[in-house]
Structure 1
């Protein structure tokens, strides 16, 4: 049985339409699959970048924390050194003040009459047993006094 030409043309046209539709469907499927792959790759890349950014942020935060800890330790050490220097300075000042006080007391004591001296009529008299002599100052004159204190050092 022979097929008429119109049927052959119709079958060819139908086959061509089916082939075009199949090709179109296959193209859309491949494009969708490719789009899914690109989306997955983009998502993986974004996730990887996010992980790297998070790791960098954590590393940066750890470095900042370590730097802050070091700065605190340095500051604490500096405060301790300053406090120690202040204590040493205060101790040195106390020693110097005590030396100065002792010197002042020694100077004051050098003006005081001892048990072998007395103030008579405003001048210092040295007593040695039963003899009495006038105390002589740097200028060769008698040393003035008042009460138990001379006006210039006796020793």
Structure 2
């Protein structure tokens, strides 16, 4: 049985803490990649749904709707759907940027051989704060996109309701 000195134990603990900090960076790099993939997919899904359906519906009913108040509802729905698409583009991008700030904040932490072994630096704290701001922005954009889709859907239903009535100009 080998007796290890407290310095050896402390050194081994520091080495393990450093390895753990580096592993955390590797894990978060994978998260950044996942958010990047989501940033490329989200706009296509939102655009294909609301805008394509609205334009298709209006094209099929344009003779009946032209020159009526339904055109204003159509324009409102299109604007809300466009806002949803814009938010869908921005939300994963903000999440991607937030994760990038989080990864870089860990990279700026300092490693020491006395407790605590991994310490936040001033730069790492600022990077973490910026990451948090972008993370909150991503959540707000996601909620905003959902609300914009709902409002656009309400306006779309108003256009559809008008098309279903017999109110020719």
Question: What's the TM-score bracket when you normalise by the shorter of the two chains?
Answer: 0.3 to 0.5
Normalised to the residue count of structure 2, the TM-score between the two structures is 0.32
- Structure (1/2) with the larger strand percentage: 1
Higher relative contact order (CA 8 A, sep 6+): 2
Instruction: Flag the structure with larger Rg.
Output: 1
Between structures 1 and 2, the one with greater helix share: 2
TM-score normalised per structure 1: 0.34
